[in-house]
């Protein structure tokens, strides 16, 4: 059973190694990117903060990320040309917020 206080890295480690979850987790991570591509949707694996140069401080608990983490995910999603076209000014706003010294692991500086 997962402890409520576990952080993302511990949760991912448990999903990867616990016999009750590991096969499903491995299948999910292997097949979902192809399913999304096949249907024309972008997919970013945001299951670990380390994928975005962050650590477990970006998480409020084992399953829920804070706002700054979501900025990194959105920035990665903007690698898709269609999303950049729909949100033309988003990359500039995201990069400014991520670079701001007032942005921390939990709250981004989105300006006023």
Tell me the domain boundaries of the chain: 8-99
- CB–CB of 25/16 below 8 Å? yes
pLDDT tens digits, 20-31: 999 999 999 999
Closest CA to 36 of 24, 48, 45: 45
pLDDT tens digits, 97-110: 999 999 999 999 99
pTM above 0.75, yes or no: yes
Across all residues in the chain, what is the average pLDDT?
91
- CB–CB of 108/67 below 8 Å? yes
The whole-angstrom separation of Cα 102 and Cα 90 is 19
Percent over 70 (pLDDT), the chain: 93
Closest CA to 51 of 12, 107, 91: 12
- CB–CB of 8/46 below 8 Å? no
């Amino acid at each position: 059973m997962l402890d409520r206080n576990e952080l993302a890295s511990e949760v991912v480690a448990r999903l990867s190694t616990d016999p009750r979850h590991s096969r499903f987790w491995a299948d999910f991570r292997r097949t979902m990117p192809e399913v999304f591509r096949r249907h024309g949707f972008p997919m970013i694996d945001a299951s670990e903060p380390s994928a975005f140069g962050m650590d477990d401080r970006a998480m409020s608990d084992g399953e829920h990320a804070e706002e700054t983490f979501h900025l990194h995910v959105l920035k990665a999603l903007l690698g898709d040309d269609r999303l950049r076209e729909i949100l033309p000014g988003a990359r500039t706003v995201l990069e400014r917020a991520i670079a701001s010294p007032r942005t921390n692991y939990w709250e981004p500086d989105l300006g006023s």
